[in-house]
Amino acid sequence: MIVSDCLFCKIISKEIKSDIIYEDDSLLAIKDINPAAPVHLLIIPKIHVASLNEVAIGDVEILGHIQLLASRLAEESGVSERGYRLVNNCGEWGGQSVFHLHYHLLGGKQMGWPPE
C-alpha cells in the first residue's frame, strides 16, 4: 500500500529521487540524504508500516529479511569487519522523524554508547 503523504512511499514509488543501493520486491536501501556517518544507509520495507509499534506477526519475514540485508550491505560497504550499527528510531522520544518503518545502517567511524 502506498500512502500518498508519506515521504518514503514517494521514494519507493520513485516519485522522489534517491540514491538507491539495493532493491527487491519487498525492500529498498538508499543513502541517507543527511549522513551521520561515512556509511549511512536506510533500509526501508516497501509496505507502509508507520513504526515498529505497528508491526505484527505477519511482518516477521520482512523483519528477518531486513536483518539479513543489513549484514550483506555492511559487508558490501566495507564496514563489517570494524563494526557498525543498525538502528530503528521509534516514535517521538526515539527520535523518529519519518513515520514509515526504516532502519539506519551506520558505519565507518567509532560510535559512542549510550546515546545521549
Catalytically active residues are: 102
Stretch binding ligand 5GP (CB under 6 A), from 20-28, 32-40, 58-66, 69-77: 32-40
Residue 32 in the binding site for ligand 5GP (CB under 6 A): yes
Among positions 95-114, residues that touch ligand 5GP (CB under 6 A) are 95-98
CB of 38 to ligand 5GP, least distance (A): 14
Q: What is the DSSP string of the chain?
A: ---TT-HHHHHHTTSS---EEEE-SSEEEEE-SS-SSSEEEEEEESS---SGGG--GGGHHHHHHHHHHHHHHHHHHT-TTT-EEEE---HHHHT--S-S--EEEEESS---SS--
